[in-house]
Amino acid sequence: MIGAALAALIAVVLVISPATARQTDRPIVLPGATGTEGVARLDGSTFFAGDLLTGDIFRGKITKGTAAKFIDAPDGRFAAGMKADSSDKLLFVAGGPTGQGYVYSTRTGAPVRSYQFQSPPTPTFINDVALSKNGAWFTDSAQALLYFVPVVDGVPSSSFRTLTLTGPAADLSGAFNNNGIQAIRGGAMLVVAHSGNGVLNLVDATTGASTTIAGVSVPNVDGILIKGGRELFAVQNANNLVSVWKLETDFLAGTQKKTITSPLFQFPTTVARFGGRLAVANAKFDTGFPPTATQFEVIVVRR
């Protein structure tokens, strides 16, 4: 999920000085990748990460510290945020400026479905994905819309539903707006990160009405992750950190608990959790867009 990235933001991002990493921090290289943006946990220690500009998908193990190309995506695809469903063995991938979303088999890597949520030149950037018990939600950073793909008995529907947002989540004044997303309360509500405003909004999954979660300030917010019910991880890309928040039981307010950073972070964008460790995608948009770095990786840090 790109948050406040691309050319307008890259121009103001500072290059982070090199430093010595903590002993527990380590990179997992995505061999041959031309960029990366999304990372997702499948089960155990298995993760997926995407090549942003080609749409290819890598599979790796954080315990082994290695990854290899798993899916050679069809030409013209992008790979932004993603989520893996371990029960249905499906990988959902946001297609960025294509206006598309993709579903792959996590067993074989075969394409399962694709969706054209918006058709360029209509402004669109399909940025991230959240799983609920009934399907998958996709955000669009250029539209005040969310897209829902139903999944029935492990099979994604051939059609999707569009949810129109109202309230603060409908603000399109930023270069990038709605970004990271997580489903809560069985999918009845959604927490959606707004990159332009540096906030989190609570969205009704039926009506699209939204309200800002009080007390949570997250400048440059990108991907988010909720674990343990109310513990939220927010990747703040240009800040090179992951902030950790405790949300109230009504999800209308939150308190910051700590920040996680690493000298290895270089414009992180999304996060996946593996027990006491986090896997964070290193997008390196501080080098430009497209990024000019010669190596891309997922950084593993202690949470």
| DSSP state letters, 3-29 | -S-HHHHHTTPPPPPP-PPPTT-EEEE
- Residue identified by tokens 């088999």 is 105
Closest CA to 46 of 102, 106, 87, 92: 106
pLDDT value, residue 173: 97
The whole-angstrom separation of Cα 229 and Cα 225 is 11
pLDDT value, residue 16: 36
Closest CA to 129 of 109, 149, 143: 149
SS3 state of residue 5: coil
pLDDT value, residue 3: 52
pLDDT digits (tens, 9 = 90+) for 237-274: 999 999 999 999 999 999 999 999 999 999 999 999 99
pLDDT value, residue 229: 82
The whole-angstrom separation of Cα 95 and Cα 93 is 6
pLDDT value, residue 11: 38
pLDDT value, residue 129: 98
SS3 state of residue 285: helix
Instruction: Show the low-confidence residues of the chain (pLDDT under 50).
Output: 4-21
pLDDT digits (tens, 9 = 90+) for 22-32: 558 999 999 99
224 bridge partner residues: 234
41 bridge partner residues: 47
Name the pTM for this structure: 0.92
DSSP state, residue 43: S
pLDDT value, residue 21: 45
The whole-angstrom separation of Cα 289 and Cα 284 is 9
Question: What single-letter amino acid sits at 298?
Answer: V
**Stated length of the chain:** 303
